[in-house]
């Protein structure tokens, strides 16, 4: 019991030391921002928050600052990219806090059971603790990756109809920006949200090709990136945007049909395991069960 308490004390000392470092860095940054002078709008935004939010938000920033200090820069960059691809469901600090909370939960619950005598500290239990820490650390990343996959699937599903509508609007005489605005109004889902954001950026003065290129980067969908590059190239070369849109729309429908055919070819392989594990045993029991019962009744010597 004494080695366990000593290990907990060492861990708590290191944690409080790191929190003190991050707290000092946060206080220095706050002081510098105060010296520079915050705008009146930011002060009003902070005053609109409730007392609980103003008290809890700075506390929630401490684990995020600790994670920023501990994690490599490359890992933080990957998390930023995935958050953008997922539609930014939360900020980077909120995600890091979520990751630390899940890791700490999976770690401290078994430690409490060990301290209470419900579990014994053994080499096998140490391996279990390491596994739980890994699960708690990786769970937010798996959740975020799932969000990215679902969002990209929704965008891919809405692309063919959206491209057809854009092509029809351009060929009817509307400009490209007006066509994108019409699609953003008619279509629902993440693609419409990204189109609306792109149009806002263009309205604020960003060049169209830069806004469209960032649209492809934010979604990470190869079909949309190809479409954006084709439109940018057509504008730079002076080609007909309507013709390019028509070609891209047809190619997109061909690729969607090819993906559907590939999924149809993979369906029999996916059906093997449910058939073998669920359906076939049931059929064998229904078909052979009465025969086995009859044989055992007629030939009692086989028992």
pLDDT tens track of the chain, all 303 residues?
A: 445 545 555 555 555 455 444 444 444 555 545 544 444 444 554 555 555 555 556 666 666 677 777 777 888 888 888 988 888 888 888 888 888 888 888 888 777 777 777 767 777 777 878 888 888 888 989 999 999 999 999 998 888 888 888 888 888 888 888 888 888 888 888 988 898 999 998 888 888 888 988 888 888 888 888 888 888 888 888 777 888 888 888 888 888 888 888 888 888 888 888 777 888 788 878 888 888 788 777 777 655
Count the Cβ atoms, other than its own, within 10 Å of residue 142: 10
Task: In whole angstroms, give the CA distance from residue 150 to residue 256.
Answer: 17
Tokens encoding 204: 């604020």
Helix, strand, coil content of the chain in percent (nearest 5): 85, 0, 15
In this structure, the number of other CB atoms found within 10 A of the CB of residue 215 comes to 22
How far does CA 244 lie from the centroid of its chain?
A: 32
Ranges of each domain in the chain: 2-152
pTM for the full model?
Answer: 0.67
Distance of CA 233 to the CA centre of its chain: 31
């Amino acid at each position: 019991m004494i080695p366990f308490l000593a290990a907990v004390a060492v861990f708590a000392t290191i944690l409080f030391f790191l929190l003190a470092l991050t707290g000092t860095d946060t206080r220095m940054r706050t002081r510098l921002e105060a010296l520079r002078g915050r705008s009146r709008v930011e002060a009003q935004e902070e005053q609109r928050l409730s007392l609980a939010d103003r008290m809890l938000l700075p506390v929630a920033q401490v684990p995020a600052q600790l994670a920023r200090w501990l994690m490599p820069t490359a890992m933080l960059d990957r998390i930023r990219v995935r958050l953008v691809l997922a539609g930014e469901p939360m900020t980077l600090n909120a995600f890091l806090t979520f990751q630390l909370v899940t890791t700490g939960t999976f770690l401290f619950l078994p430690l409490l059971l060990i301290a209470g005598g419900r579990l014994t500290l053994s080499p096998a239990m140490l391996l279990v603790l390491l596994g739980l820490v890994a699960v708690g650390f990786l769970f937010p990343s798996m959740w975020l990756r799932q969000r990215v996959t679902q969002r990209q699937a929704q965008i891919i599903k809405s692309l063919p109809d959206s491209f057809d509508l854009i092509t029809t609007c351009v060929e009817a005489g509307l400009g490209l920006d007006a066509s994108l605005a019409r699609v953003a109004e008619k279509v629902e889902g993440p693609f419409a949200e990204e189109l609306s954001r792109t149009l806002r950026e263009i309205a604020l003065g960003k060049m169209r090709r830069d806004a469209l290129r960032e649209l492809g980067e934010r979604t990470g969908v190869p079909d949309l990136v190809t479409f954006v590059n084709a439109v940018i190239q057509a504008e730079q070369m002076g080609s007909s945007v309507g013709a390019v849109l028509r070609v891209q729309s047809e190619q997109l429908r061909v690729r969607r049909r090819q993906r559907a055919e590939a999924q149809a070819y993979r369906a029999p392989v996916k059906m093997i395991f449910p058939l073998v594990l669920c359906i076939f045993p049931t059929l064998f029991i229904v078909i052979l069960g009465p025969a086995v019962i009859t044989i055992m009744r007629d030939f009692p010597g086989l028992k």
